[in-house]
Structure 1
Amino acid sequence: MALTYKTRRRLSLLILLLGMPAYIAAAWWVMSLFERPGIWLEFAIYIVLGILWVLPFKAVFKGVGQADPNAPPSER
């Protein structure tokens, strides 16, 4: 099922405004359950977690910053 440009824009905004803060809070909470690792290991864990959250949403975010490809030329 292909998403339209408008749907992808709305879904990406929803993910960024609600999903990302929830993911940050969850990652922070999970990290607080364990004894604090060394600063470099903790930094590496947060970097990996920061990259992993976006991988499932790659198709949603792809091309959202571009002009609508289905819009008439006068609206681009």
Structure 2
Amino acid sequence: MALSYKTRRRLALLILVVGLPLYIAAAWWVTSLFERPSLLVELAIYVALGFIWALPFKFIFKGVGQADPDAPRDQD
């Protein structure tokens, strides 16, 4: 079942406003359990985690920034 454009926009907003801060807090907490690595290793960990969180939601974010394809077009 394909999601409508409006549903995908609402889900994307929910993920960005609620899910992303929760994911950041969880990633921060998990990395704090271990001894702090060097700055470059820590940066690489956070970049990798930042990339990984978006993979499951790729289909939701795809095309959300475009105009609504289901909206009626003006006939001038």
1:24-58 per-residue CA deviation (whole Å, 9 max, x = no partner) reads: 00000000000001111000000000000000000
1:20 is paired with a residue of what secondary structure?
A: helix
- Report the count of equivalent residues: 74
Structure 1 residues not aligned, in runs of 5+: none
Between the two proteins, what is the percent identity of the paired residues?
70
RMSD: 0.5
SS at match of 2:71: coil
TM-score by length of 1: 0.95
> What are the equivalent positions in structure 2 for 1:1-76 lying under 5 Å apart?
1-74=1-74
Deviating beyond 2 angstroms after TM superposition, the runs of 4 or more aligned structure 1 residues are none
